[in-house]
């Protein structure tokens, strides 16, 4: 049985690289769309998710990795960048409509990531597209306590 940790936070503006909104010519449709086939090959299907992330600040709290649901090492997803390690964690997003949406926390390991670093209070959440979500919105998410700790 999953023991969910509840944490409140705020949606923040990110780099726009994961979704392709940054118009970076190296990642025209976004980094996650480029990474998706590599994750699929190793057993993680992202078809149910919007191929971008919600940057979710849990400040003043931070998170600590315990036991990811998935970890992929040495993923060479870009011809121009070195291979990276990625982990994913189960989460649920509680919407204002009282709907609960299953998601994943997307975690490119900073020690293998060449650029676009996140603040230690930011979780990158993948979920199905949420149409009325905007920067500054407060959200509540639930995280599997066996996979991640909030402190």
Compute how many other C-beta atoms are within 10 angstroms of the C-beta atom of residue 128: 12
Q: What CATH number is attached to the domain comprising 69?
A: 2.40.30.30
Rounded distance between C-alpha atoms, residue 131 and residue 36, angstroms: 22
* pLDDT number for residue 142: 98
pLDDT digits (tens, 9 = 90+) for 62-95: 999 999 999 999 999 988 889 999 999 999 999 8
Domain ranges, residue 51: 4-150
Q: Give the global pTM.
A: 0.91
Reading the block at residue 22, the tokens are: 């940054």
Cis ω before 60 (30° cut-off from 0): yes
3-state secondary structure of 131: coil
End-to-end CA distance of the chain: 22
Cis ω before 40 (30° cut-off from 0): no
If one counts the domains in the chain, the total is: 1
pLDDT digits (tens, 9 = 90+) for 2-11: 899 999 999 9
Rounded distance between C-alpha atoms, residue 137 and residue 49, angstroms: 20
């Amino acid at each position: 049985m999953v023991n969910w940790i509840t944490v409140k936070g705020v949606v923040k503006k990110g780099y726009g690289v994961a979704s392709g909104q940054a118009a970076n010519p190296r990642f025209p449709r976004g980094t996650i769309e480029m990474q998706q086939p590599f994750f699929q090959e190793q057993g993680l299907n992202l078809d149910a998710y919007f191929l971008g992330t919600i940057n979710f600040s849990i400040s003043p709290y931070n998170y600590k990795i315990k036991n990811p649901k998935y970890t992929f090492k040495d993923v060479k997803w870009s011809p121009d960048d070195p291979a990276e390690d990625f982990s994913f964690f189960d989460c649920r997003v509680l919407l204002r409509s009282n709907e609960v949406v299953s998601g994943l926390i997307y975690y490119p390991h900073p020690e293998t990531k060449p650029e676009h670093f996140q603040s230690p209070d930011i979780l990158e959440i993948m979920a199905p597209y949420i149409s009325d979500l905007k920067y500054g919105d407060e959200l509540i998410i639930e995280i599997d306590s066996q996979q991640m700790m909030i402190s």
